Amino acid sequence: MNLKELKAFLLDKRLLLALGVILFVEILFQSGVYKPLLKKNSYAANINRVTEHVLNNRKTLDPDILIVGTSVAFEGLSVRILNEQLQDKGWKVQSIAIRGSELVVQHRILEKYLDEFKNVKYVLHILEPGMAWVDRTETIDPTLAMLSELGNFRAISLIKEFEYTPDRSSYLYLALKTVTYRKDLGDLFINFNERMKAISRRNKNPNLNPWDYENETIESLGPYQIENIEDCLTKTNPGSKFPLPKESNADHKRMIFETCTVANSVPKSSKETENTERYFRRLQKMYELIGKRNIHIIDIFAPYSNAIRTFNDSDRTAVWEKGLGFALAPYQKLDQIDMQDSLGKGDNGKYCFDLIHLNRSGMENFSLALSKELAARLGTK
């Protein structure tokens, strides 16, 4: 193709029209016009819903204590119960925990919104004992989706700061909303009626509570009598002949199997690794953000199913204490509350939805136990 032909191609009206349409759609997406249409409970929709709801309710619930974490905190703690129990002490609690959020996402939430909460004096960081050993350098779609909703261009530089090694497609995912939303758009066109019905139900039944969520699941691990990960995989795999308990259902059984599979992938060794060292370097960046604001951090280890409790031995605890001490310096000394046995040292399956998440009963008991610990530790405001 010579220069004349190339010029003619680039100036072709059909090409210019197509590029103009793509640019117009991209500008609309960048402006946030598509956010209300996102699929319910997708990672992108969840992070928008939680942050927007918490911010919109600051006049009702402007917290002194802010909860940060993943689904363990999201499912396991009741903001309602914590506020009821700490009311006499004068403390107000709110949660910005997000399902599936890696440290880089939690950091970005705080970076973007922490200054909006003028009264925060404490951050409760809910930790998962095995998380440091499965820290990764590759960027995955859920993390990219959440980061994109929190400011996609900032995310491009942030993933470098957090020692990720993204490929070109990751940068495209963050830079172009037409790429970010491609799967969600596909689902919208395929399931248009269902999406519109979900949006309609949401608009007709708004959440009037100042907190975003409270766990209502009643299913439990109890009837499965799971003793360890191998037992879990045997009883809950799709081909298992173990009879489905009447207190459970097929979806619940599937979700248990999924968490068993994840738990089985966590290294059993409790020694320091390259992954743990990187995890605590990332955590240091996040804690620096909090510490510079003179906000005190309390690290909390939540209760899990006793089927995996044995992995969190003294060696693993020592790695955590060393890493947390490194991450917190120079702003404060380690301040932690170990609640792993707060639901009992024996079989606690009745309180667990799956291996790592609590059900409603577990949430209520964990929230009450943590409230007592906080009241004793913090005293009256």
Distance from C-alpha of 291 to C-alpha of 297, rounded to nearest angstrom: 8
| Residue 2's pLDDT band (cuts 50, 70, 90) | low
5 band by pLDDT with thresholds 50, 70 and 90:
low
Q: Say how many CA atoms lie within 13 Å of 2 toward its Cβ.
A: 1
270 or 63: which leads in pLDDT? 63
Query: Could you report the per-residue pLDDT of 214-271, keeping only the tens digit for each?
Result: 999 999 999 999 988 999 999 999 989 899 999 899 999 999 999 999 888 888 788 8
Find how far residue 87's CA is from the centre of its chain: 27
% of the chain at pLDDT higher than 70? 97
Q: Is residue 19 predicted with pLDDT exceeding 90?
A: no
Cα–Cα distances (Å) from 108 to 81, 114, 298, 324, 337, in that order, read 27, 10, 19, 19, 25
Cis peptide leading into residue 330 (ω within 30°): yes
The pLDDT of residue 175 is above 70: yes
Side-chain half-sphere CA neighbours of 324 within 13 A: 22
**How long is the chain?**
381
User: Residue 61 corresponds to which tokens in the numbers above?
Assistant: 């619930």
For residue 98, give Cα distances in angstroms to 6, 72, 105, 311, 319: 50, 9, 9, 25, 25
Q: Which residue, chain included where needed, has tokens 């911010």?
A: 55
Confidence of residue 352 (pLDDT cuts 50, 70, 90): very high
Q: Which residues pair with 301 in a beta bridge?
A: 127, 338
Cβ atoms of residues 50 and 96 within 8 Å: yes
Does 374 have pLDDT greater than 80? yes
Q: How confident is the model at residue 310 (pLDDT cuts 50, 70, 90)?
A: confident
* Lookup result for tokens 């007592």: 372
CB-CB contact of 120 with 62 (8 Å): no
Determine the average pLDDT of the residues in 53-72. Answer: 96
CA distance 106 to 327: 15
Give the 3-state secondary structure of residue 178: helix
Answer yes or no: is pLDDT of 15 > 70: no
% of the chain residues with pLDDT over 90:
80
3-state secondary structure of 302: coil
Average pLDDT of the segment spanning 168-176: 93
Distance CA 352, CA 283 (A): 28
Quote the pTM value: 0.92
The pair of three-digit structure tokens given for residue 41, joined into one six-digit string: 């409970």
Dist CA 61 CA 43 (whole Å): 25
CA distance 97 to 120: 15
pLDDT given for residue 34 in this prediction: 93
Q: What is the DSSP letter of 358?
A: B
The mean of the pLDDT values for the chain is 92
Q: What order do you get walking across the sheet with 296-301 strand by strand?
A: 93-95, 65-68, 122-127, 296-301, 336-338
What Å distances lie between residue 84 and 63, 87, 111, CA to CA? 13, 5, 29
pLDDT digits (tens, 9 = 90+) for 101-124: 999 999 999 999 999 999 999 999
User: What would the mean pLDDT of 173-189 be, rounded to a whole number?
Assistant: 93
pLDDT in tens, 112-157: 999 999 999 999 999 988 899 999 999 999 999 999 999 999 999 9
